[in-house]
Amino acid sequence: MSTEVERVDLRTEARLFQVISTSSSVYYADARGDIPLPLRAAGDGNTEHGPWDDMWVPLSSLASGPPIVVDGRDLTDDEIDWSDWGEWELRVGTRHIYEWDVPGPGGVNRHEWVQRAATRIVALDEMPPEGARIRVEDDPDPDDGIPPMRWEMGP
């Protein structure tokens, strides 16, 4: 059985979560082990693809930016609380930054995914099978109508 949630702290909720946005790509966070593991199921259409897609990676940090979408409406700069950042939290209406480290010949290399604003978060009992992990609807808005890094800039 799946359950929708508005926010979740991966440090305290030992479950599997699906994080959906306007993109055809869908993110998953498995917090049932010692460290949370995210997976980016790369979608079709107007979405980037990378070497770490469709594989679990050991999360070194997770940040959720301030809410930028409330009840399906984009907030204006004046309405956004730029101090409202969450650590290790998934929250509807925010963009998430998933970071992980990979050892390399010159030391540790940090990698990241920056997700579009989450429209839904669903607690799952099990991982959907391959082929059923992405959104199949059209990719309606390639950058949520906002500059891609808006939440970093502040007012």
What average pLDDT does the chain have?
85
Count the alpha carbons within 13 Å of 130 in the hemisphere toward its beta carbon. 3
Render pLDDT for 87-120 as a digit per residue (tens, 0 to 9). 999 999 999 999 999 888 888 889 999 999 999 9
Answer whether 66's CB lies under 8 Å from 151's CB. yes
**Are 135 and 20 spatial neighbours (Cβ–Cβ below 8 Å)?**
yes
% of the chain with per-residue pLDDT over 70: 86
Q: Rounded distance, CA 122 to CA 8, Å? A: 10
> Where is average pLDDT lowest: 27-31, 106-110, 120-124, 135-139?
135-139
Please give the pLDDT value at position 104. 83
Confidence category of residue 34, pLDDT binned at 50, 70, 90: very high
Tokens encoding 17? 């979560």
| C-alpha distance across the termini of the chain, in Å | 41
